[in-house]
Amino acid sequence: MSDDRYSDWPEGAREDMEANRFSGCVGSVLVSETDEVRVWHLHLPAGKRCNFHRHVLNYFWTCHNHGKARGYFEDGTIKDVTHFPGDTRHFVFPKDKYLLHSVENIGDTDLLFTTVELKCLSENEPLPIPDGVRLQAAA
């Protein structure tokens, strides 16, 4: 039996979701981390989609510019959003709850976001992050 919840998704998106089901990389680069927070930057050029990733920590994001995005969610939902500078959303995840999604830039300008994960105010443990996504300090 086929599952057509994903029939309107771009080619390769479902495979990306399965491959990154437990990825805690919620941005392009992790710019700062303490015992309390993780701060991410997400840069999405026009026409590009970020990999699927899992949010388990309470967090908020802020958009830095105008643009249009399309979200792809684990249940097959697709949601289009228009962003503006200062656009901010907050999310809370009770114990063992999460959000698995990907974001595609469907506008004609780059999208820039800052995401702050609140490690100290979350009921879930942070997901591991590979060193390759951490901002490398200048030598």
pLDDT at 3: 73
Is 132 within a domain? Answer: no
This prediction has a pTM of 0.93
Q: How many domains does the chain have?
A: 1
CATH number at residue 81: 2.60.120.10
Q: Which domain holds residue 35?
A: 28-125
Token pair 């063992």 is found at: 96
Contact in structure between 129 and 135 (CB atoms under 8 Å): no
pLDDT by residue for the chain (139 residues), tens only, comes to: 457 899 999 999 999 999 999 999 999 999 999 999 999 999 999 999 999 999 999 999 999 999 999 999 999 999 999 999 999 999 999 999 999 999 999 999 999 999 999 999 999 999 999 999 998 755 4
Residue 83 lies in a domain: yes
Instruction: Indicate whether 60 belongs to any domain.
Output: yes
Q: What is the pLDDT of residue 117?
A: 98
Domain-embedded: residue 108: yes
* 44 falls within a domain: yes
Which two three-digit tokens encode residue 5? 């919840």
> Looking at the domain assignment, is residue 21 inside a domain?
no
